[in-house]
């Protein structure tokens, strides 16, 4: 990549004049009341975004107005240093509120693209702070803007600088595009790993080295499933568990699994699947921890940002639903429906109906493996495809359908092997992802460095 600032600094040290902005810009001074007939039929400038694009509106306003003519330079008095600058390219005049200012410019003295870049540079911020009372906190008006003194090279050199910037920015755009593509590939790779994990592809070699020992739950999935079902039935017989209702799936996800695995429903291999309180709590400023769907992301239990409830509400909400370390939480509502995390902290909390609690037989199933299943493309497709709506809300992932989710179930030791393999691969991918983010930040920093160095 060619960095333009070395060239720019070299000639700016000797080839510039100190001039006032008023030397090449002239403000349009006319002001109009909102109901002035001069504004009749004209569209209004609504905003200039930070990429310099003008957005128009026909909504009325009670603020005094200016008229912007084709070819004028328009500046936002509030966000000019962030890039809210544009040359109006329309064919008909438009109006703008007095929070904007409009200027004609002398094309023999200023290359307007050069000047727009200068206004986004640290040098302009420095000039604001040194020459304008209030600095960057002051709304930029013509009376404060035009007297600012800046270092200005001649027109030919301005145009040379622009060519360097154009070339540099094109290379920077290509770099950012490539980094964005790499991020997409990383996301796809993560999903592929999870899908291969729950279809047995990651542990094909493990099965060769650990053949099925009939009757041993560590290597025999059929024996494992039988043991889980027997334990659950015993708890039901003893009155410690109630039989839970299932619900037919709207959409079934298909998955090819090894013939040594089983494919039971989630509700058949877990102690309990329930949700939090359906009552909207009366929150207090300090009390007991109360969580909701916002505290769960894929593979991440994040209880830190939470609300508080009273001691009594806490006790009431936890009756028959006591989360423990090693249990699963599944988001039931919102954009993150189906997102699943293992409770990996010793923390007491109550929770809202937006979360489902899945209590697992921790000696017989690996909760981290179940999280892999739920967060895999297979699990996400099932969750998103089994949302019910009552016409009022955006939809819920009903408990009956969570219980009816078919789980690819390997033997216990293979579950552990899958989790270890996924963890190992994800750590490598996380390192790659961190490198990409670092490169993106370097690209942003490089642009700021160029702007800083170019106009000093």
Are both 138 and 271 inside the same structural domain? Answer: no
Are both 55 and 204 inside the same structural domain? Answer: no
Are both 145 and 241 inside the same structural domain? Answer: no
Are both 109 and 212 inside the same structural domain? Answer: no
Q: What is the CA radius of gyration of the chain?
A: 32
Chain center to CA of 18: 44
Within-domain flag for 393: yes
Q: Which residues of 101-130 are buried (b: 16+ CB within 10 A; e: fewer)?
A: bbbebeeeebbbebbbbbbbbbbbeebbee
Give the pLDDT score at 77.
85
The residue out of 128, 153, 178 marking a domain boundary is 153
- Cα atoms in the Cβ-side hemisphere of radius 13 Å centred on 132: 23
CA distance 225 to 448: 60
Could you tell me the CA-to-CA distances from 191 to 48, 410, 419 in Å, in that order?
39, 20, 14
Are both 264 and 394 inside the same structural domain? Answer: yes
The residue out of 153, 178, 203 marking a domain boundary is 153
CA distance 377 to 217: 27
Q: Which one, of 17, 149, 127, lies nearest residue 80 by Cα?
A: 127
Within-domain flag for 165: no
pTM above 0.85, yes or no: no
Q: Which one, of 73, 94, 64, lies nearest residue 26 by Cα?
A: 73
Give the pLDDT score at 13.
47
pLDDT tens digits, 208-235: 999 999 999 999 999 999 999 999 999 9
Residue 385: count other Cβ atoms within 10 Å of its Cβ.
14
Within-domain flag for 5: no
Within-domain flag for 211: yes
Q: What is the dihedral of CA 241, 247, 252, 254, to 10 degrees?
A: 20
Are both 135 and 246 inside the same structural domain? Answer: no
Are both 274 and 419 inside the same structural domain? Answer: yes
Are both 299 and 362 inside the same structural domain? Answer: yes
Within-domain flag for 176: no
In the structure encoding, which two tokens stand for residue 342, read together?
């293992």
Within-domain flag for 59: yes
In the structure encoding, which two tokens stand for residue 235, read together?
């708890």
Is residue 154 within 8 A of residue 23, CB to CB? The reply is: no
Are both 149 and 218 inside the same structural domain? Answer: no
For 117, the domain range is 15-153
Backbone angles phi, psi at 347, to 5 degrees: -145, 135
Burial (CB < 10 A; 0-12, 13-18, 19+), residue 51, is exposed
Within-domain flag for 450: no
CATH number at residue 82: 3.90.220.20
In the structure encoding, which two tokens stand for residue 147, read together?
């007297």
Give the pLDDT score at 19.
93
Low pLDDT (below 50) residues in the chain = 5, 12-13, 391-392
Could you tell me the CA-to-CA distances from 372 to 183, 324, 409 in Å, in that order?
21, 19, 12
Q: What does the DSSP assignment read for 362-425?
A: TTTS-HHHHHHHHHSHHHHHHHHHTEE--SSSS-EE-HHHHHT-B--B--HHHHHHHHHHHHHH
Are both 81 and 27 inside the same structural domain? Answer: yes
Give the pLDDT score at 167.
86
Are both 246 and 362 inside the same structural domain? Answer: yes
Within-domain flag for 438: no
Give the pLDDT score at 135.
58
CB-based contacts of 288: which residues, under 8 Å, 6+ apart?
308, 309, 310, 311, 313, 314, 348, 349, 350
Q: Say how many domains are in the chain.
A: 2
In the structure encoding, which two tokens stand for residue 123, read together?
């040098």
Are both 27 and 106 inside the same structural domain? Answer: yes
Is residue 323 within 8 A of residue 350, CB to CB? The reply is: no
Chain center to CA of 249: 30
């Amino acid at each position: 990549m060619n960095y333009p600032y070395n060239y720019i600094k070299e000639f700016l040290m000797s080839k510039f004049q100190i001039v006032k902005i008023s030397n090449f810009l002239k403000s349009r001074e006319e002001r109009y009341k909102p109901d002035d007939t001069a504004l009749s039929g004209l569209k209004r400038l609504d905003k200039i975004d930070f990429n310099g694009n003008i957005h128009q509106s026909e909504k009325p306003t009670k603020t005094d107005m200016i008229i912007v003519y084709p070819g004028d330079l328009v500046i936002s008095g509030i966000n000019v240093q962030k890039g809210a600058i544009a040359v109006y390219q329309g064919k008909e005049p438009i109006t703008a509120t007095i929070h904007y200012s409009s200027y004609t410019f002398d094309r023999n003295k200023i290359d307007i693209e050069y000047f727009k870049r200068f206004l986004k540079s640290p040098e302009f911020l420095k000039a604001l702070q040194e020459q304008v009372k209030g600095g960057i906190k002051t709304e930029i008006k013509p009376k404060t803007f035009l007297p600012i003194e800046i270092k200005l090279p001649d027109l030919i050199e301005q145009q040379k600088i622009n060519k360097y910037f154009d070339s540099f920015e094109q290379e920077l755009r290509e770099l950012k595009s490539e980094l964005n593509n790499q991020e997409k590939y990383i996301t796809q790779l993560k999903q592929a790993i999870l899908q291969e994990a729950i279809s047995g592809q990651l542990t094909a070699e493990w099965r060769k080295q650990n053949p099925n020992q009939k009757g041993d739950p560590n290597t025999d999935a059929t024996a494992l499933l039988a043991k889980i079902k027997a334990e659950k039935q015993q708890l039901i017989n003893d009155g410690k568990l109630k039989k839970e209702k299932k619900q037919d799936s709207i959409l079934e996800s298909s998955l090819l699994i090894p013939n040594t695995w089983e494919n039971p429903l989630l509700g058949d291999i877990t102690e309990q699947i329930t949700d939090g309180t359906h009552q909207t709590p009366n929150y207090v400023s300090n009390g007991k921890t109360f969580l909701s769907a916002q505290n769960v992301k894929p593979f991440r239990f994040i209880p830190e940002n939470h609300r508080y409830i009273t001691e009594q509400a806490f006790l009431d909400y936890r009756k028959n639903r006591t989360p423990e370390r090693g249990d699963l939480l599944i988001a039931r509502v919102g954009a993150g429906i189906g997102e699943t995390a293992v409770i990996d902290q010793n923390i007491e909390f109550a929770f809202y109906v937006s979360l489902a609690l899945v209590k697992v037989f921790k000696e017989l199933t690996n909760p981290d493996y179940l999280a892999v299943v739920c967060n895999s493309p297979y699990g996400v497709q099932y969750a998103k495809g089994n949302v019910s709506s009552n016409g009022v809300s955006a939809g819920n992932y009903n408990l009956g359908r969570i219980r009816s989710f078919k789980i690819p179930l390997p033997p216990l030791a293979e579950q552990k092997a899958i989790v270890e393999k996924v963890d190992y691969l994800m750590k490598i991918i996380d390192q790659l992802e961190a490198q990409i983010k670092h490169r993106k930040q370097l690209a942003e920093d490089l642009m700021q460095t160029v702007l800083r160095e170019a106009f000093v």
